[in-house]
Amino acid sequence: MVERARRLGAGRRAILAAPYLWLVAFFLVPLALVFKISLSRSAIAQPPYVPTFDFGEGLSAILDKARTFGLDAYRGLFADPLYFEAYLTSLALAGLATAIAVAIAYPIALAIARSDKRLRPVLIGLAVAPFWTSFLIRVYAWIMILKDEGLFNRALMALGIIDAPLPILATNAAVTIGMVYSYLPFVVLPIYAALEAQDESLREAAADLGAAPLATFLTVTLPLSATGVVAGALLMFIPAVGEFVIPDLLGGSDTMMIGRVMWNDFFENRDWPAASAGAIVLIALLVGPIVWIERRRT
Minimal distance, residue 33 CB to another protein, in Å: 5
SS3 146: helix
Is the Cβ of residue 20 or residue 84 nearer to another protein in the bound state? 20
Minimal distance, residue 99 CB to another protein, in Å: 16
Is the Cβ of residue 67 or residue 267 nearer to another protein in the bound state? 267
Instruction: Please state, in angstroms and rounded to a whole number, the distance separating the CA atoms of residues 106 and 184.
Output: 10
Is the Cβ of residue 9 or residue 67 nearer to another protein in the bound state? 9
Is the Cβ of residue 207 or residue 245 nearer to another protein in the bound state? 245
Minimal distance, residue 22 CB to another protein, in Å: 6
Q: Render 64-120 in DSSP notation, one character per residue.
A: HHHHT---HHHHHHHH-HHHHHHHHHHHHHHHHHHHHHHHHHHHHHHHHHTS-TTTH
Minimal distance, residue 133 CB to another protein, in Å: 5
Minimal distance, residue 137 CB to another protein, in Å: 4
Is the Cβ of residue 67 or residue 217 nearer to another protein in the bound state? 217
Count of C-beta atoms within a 10 Å radius of residue 222 = 14
Minimal distance, residue 50 CB to another protein, in Å: 13
Minimal distance, residue 272 CB to another protein, in Å: 7
Is the Cβ of residue 71 or residue 151 nearer to another protein in the bound state? 151
Instruction: Please state, in angstroms and rounded to a whole number, the distance separating the CA atoms of residues 255 and 217.
Output: 39
Is the Cβ of residue 224 or residue 249 nearer to another protein in the bound state? 249
Q: Is 210 left (phi over 0), alpha (psi -120 to 50) or beta?
A: left
Instruction: Please state, in angstroms and rounded to a whole number, the distance separating the CA atoms of residues 219 and 199.
Output: 14
Q: How distant, in Å, are the alpha carbons of 11, 224, 251 from that of 258?
A: 45, 35, 13
Count of C-beta atoms within a 10 Å radius of residue 4 = 6
Instruction: Please state, in angstroms and rounded to a whole number, the distance separating the CA atoms of residues 209 and 101.
Output: 33
Contacting residues for 86 by C-beta, under 8 A, at least 6 apart: 256, 257, 258, 260, 261
